[in-house]
A and B are shown apart, each in its own frame.
Chain A
Amino acid sequence: MKKTIFINAHIIDPTQKIDKLGTLTVENKKITEISFDKFNSKYEDNNEVINCKNFILSPGFVDLKCHLRVPGDEHKENLSYASEAAASSGITSLVCMPNTNPIIDNVSIVELLQRKARKESHVKIFSTGSITKKLEGNELSEFGLLSEAGAVAFTDATTAVNNASVMYKALKYASAFDILLMQHPEEKYLSKGGSMTSGTLSTELGIKGIPIEAEVIQVERDIRLAEMTSGKIHFLNISTGLAIDAIKSAQEKGLKISCSTSPHYFSLDETNIKKWRTFAKLSPPLRDKKNVANVKLGILNNVITCITSDHSPHDTDSKRLPFEIASPGSIGFESLLPLTLNLVKEKKLGLLKLVELISSNPAKLLNLKAGSLKKGSNADIVLFDPSKKINLSSALIKSKSKNFPYENKKAFGKIYLTMVDGKIIFRDGKFNI
């Protein structure tokens, strides 16, 4: 069997606390060896030797939250576009949201997605299921059957389960299958009709606002419900200091509460909306500078343990509208690493922590066989240069949609190679497929 040998690699693996130069060998879809001795090339004639030139070799990134729009909204994104975009961004596993059309609330849609993924995608695609049928917030989906079919977590995507009794039952029932519920924390009535954070800016733009408390109210209620049921909740897209404080104290109490955010919430603030710029309309909405700083602090203090792309592709017609009716969301794959690397540049975190946030932790949270370079692991690997300057702009986007709020933003981080199950799927800008 031919081996792939990565030499002169700066190996980063949080699961083994490795942060040093070495050689990593892949054989038969698996990682078979990591060595830190000097590499001797004379025995390796038949193998592919890749000189990593001291760039970083880490487990492929695991994206805990993305919208692939399949099935139903293939005019916004499809699996082959998404797969190339992810591969070129170093992402080897995608966890997609169930707010598709039809909604992923039954086994047949999970299976449909898996079938399509096998055919069209070169990265691994994991489906979530909805917490409630049709995302209506009333009746529980088939957690057990959906889990068996492959759903890795349950969430009502961009809506929260607002009915406390339904959420209580969901948490109770979920414990039978040890599954994770993921909540988009936004209290329905406070956020109704709003499309940006309320404050002077929303008043000046004449846009109905959503108070930041809409997030913490939902978080605090869910923490209570988790306490009542010994349930497990993961909060998605945390964007306020208030919610981070609430989650921190729940974690200190020993409750099974975790959370993630996306790079938008520490890279952009509400002033990026400028004059009703719909590309900066997100859900939850962008916050003020103080909350942006709080989100960074939440990452630094290990309250926020995962960073997701929150990849939310939208076609032009969904964005070229008055702000209040434009669809919320932004493209996210291509900016996941560069924007998170900014935190390294700002000396907020080290490279081990970076890889933990975008690979090892999300994999661990969902029990995915990913996010690690341990011997015997699946060979899902990314090679990147963290110091290479890049220009974040829509020209970079490989997704079908181009709703990207960053234009000519200087950043760092270039992906050289992405490998999934021992197969190189992206290398030097080309898809080796």
Chain B
Amino acid sequence: MKIKHLLSIKDLSVKEIENILKDASKFLNKNKIYKISKNIKGKNIINLFFEDSTRTLTSFELAGKQLGASVINMAVATSSIKKGESLIDTAMTLNAMSPDILIVRHNMSGVPYLLSEKVNCSVINAGDGSNEHPTQALLDVLTILRHKKRISGLEVAIMGDVLHSRVARSNIYLLNKLKAKVRVISPPTLLPPGIENMNVKVCKNINEGLDGVDIIMVLRIQKERMKGSFVPSEKEFFRFWGLDGEKLNKAKKNALVMHPGPINRGIEIDSDVADDIGRSLILEQVKLGVAVRMSVINKLIN
């Protein structure tokens, strides 16, 4: 892989994307067990998470360990920045310990990019503000591929809080690169300005939005955004924008449902849909996440 960091889907060529996904599949054995590779034994990875995360942190940690690397989780709450040490000082301190990869999550957009300019090692963006979450998009696409065997030409609906979602942005870039047809469905107050120029179809009506889609990506919505600031209430959000069995019927019969997690049951997705093993890919996404992250780490180190 030519790139040193994985900061944005935009930096990846289609060939590089295909390579990452191909290698990720190699880390899977009969869909279940991860192969343990010793490719990168002795390499050091630091998970630098400025924002709380359970699944992404665990996924990256496991991915690194499966490859034989030493993984250190830095518990940097945003508050330690407030205590005085600047973001860049924190990164420079870690950089002085010569890690091979810094995996960064931050609640502000652009932070992994900022740090990549200051440190010597590779940087992986594990989610920055409302900007991007590239490994999530890669694992989503891998999940789709395993079921639909193609991305090109698929109708993909991304629904929910698109405004604040880094997952939505990375998926829009990635799905467009792979020639899927992307539409977004969102309450007008949670639709980002100018998104119509990003090669997506904007649907304000959920029935129109779900009509004939192959894949539905449901986004997580934070509870505090449903107290009148963006949406009047959780109840109203679920009624008009939450995915339930009835709304799902508008989609293709074999349409599949995805969610980056953690899910808010009864708010953005109904439990019946989330738990429907015939349609929901939510747990498979989590599983493939480890494989995709192994692939990315492996490529950046080698």
A residues bordering B, Cβ < 8 Å?
198-209, 211, 275-276, 317, 320-325
Contacts and interface: CB of A to CB of B under 8 A. Distances in A.
Given A317-B86, A320-B86, A321-B87, A205 B194 contact: no
A317 to B, nearest CB: 7
A209 B193 CA distance: 8
Contact of B109 (A201, A207, A211, A320): A207
Contacts of A323: 108-110
A200 B166 contact: no
Nearest to B131: A206
B225 to A, nearest CB: 13
Interface in B182-231: 192-195, 197-198
Shortest Cβ-Cβ A-B pairs, 9 listed: A206-B131, A200-B194, A276-B110, A206-B109, A206-B130, A322-B108, A203-B192, A199-B194, A200-B197
A198 B113 contact: no
Nearest to B118: A320
A142 to B, nearest CB: 36
A204 B169 contact: yes
Contact of B193 (A199, A275, A320): A199
A275 B110 contact: yes
A325 B108 CA distance: 9
Nearest to B109: A206
B110 A203 contact: no
Contacts of B131: 205-206
Contacts of B113: 275-276
Contact of A322 (B87, B166, B198): B87
A276 B114 CA distance: 8
Contacts of A199: 193-194
B109 A198 contact: no
B193 A202 contact: yes
Residue among B87, B114, B128 with max Cβ neighbours from chain A (10 Å): B114
Given A201-B194, A206-B128, 8 more contacts: A200-B193, A203-B198, A206-B109, A207-B110, A211-B193, A322-B106, A322-B108, A322-B114
B132 interface: yes
26 contacts: A200-B193, A200-B194, A200-B197, A202-B192, A202-B193, A202-B194, A203-B192, A203-B193, A204-B198, A206-B109, A206-B129, A206-B130, A206-B169, A207-B110, A207-B129, A275-B110, A276-B109, A276-B110, A317-B86, A320-B88, A321-B87, A322-B87, A322-B108, A322-B109, A322-B129, A323-B110
B110 A205 contact: yes
Interface in B124-176: 128-132, 166, 169
Contacts of B46: none
B69 interface: no
Nearest to B130: A206
B110 A206 contact: yes
B255 interface: no
Contacts of B169: 203-204, 206
Contacts of A209: 193
Interface size for chain B: under 10, 10 to 19, 20 to 34, or 35 or more residues? 20 to 34
Contacts of A201: 194
Contacts of B192: 202-203
Contact of B195 (A200, A206, A325): A200
B109 A324 contact: yes
Contacts of B132: 206
Contacts of B88: 320
A51 B197 CA distance: 58
Interface of B: 86-88, 106, 108-111, 113-114, 128-132, 166, 169, 192-195, 197-198
B198 A200 contact: yes
A203 B166 CA distance: 10
A72 B86 CA distance: 22
Contacts of A325: 108
Nearest to A276: B110
Nearest to B107: A322
A296 to B, nearest CB: 24
A207 B109 CA distance: 7
Contacts of B129: 206-207, 322, 324
Nearest to A325: B108
A198 B128 contact: no
A198 B194 contact: yes
Contacts of B86: 317, 320-321
Contacts of A205: 109-110, 131
Contacts of A206: 109-110, 128-132, 166, 169
Nearest to A321: B87
A198 B130 CA distance: 14
A85 to B, nearest CB: 27
Contact of A203 (B108, B111, B114, B194): B194
A325 B109 CA distance: 10
- A199, A201, A206, A208 — most chain B CB neighbours (10 Å): A206
A205 B110 CA distance: 7
B138 to A, nearest CB: 18
Nearest to A209: B193
Contacts of B198: 200, 203-204
Nearest to A275: B113
A325 B87 CA distance: 12
A204 B132 CA distance: 9
B158 to A, nearest CB: 13
Nearest to B7: A275
A200 B196 CA distance: 8
Nearest to A277: B110
> For B88, B108, B110, B193, which residue has the most chain A Cβ atoms within 10 angstroms?
B110
Contacts of B193: 198-200, 202-203, 209, 211
Contacts of B109: 205-207, 276, 322-324
A317 B84 CA distance: 12
A328 to B, nearest CB: 15
Contacts of B106: 322
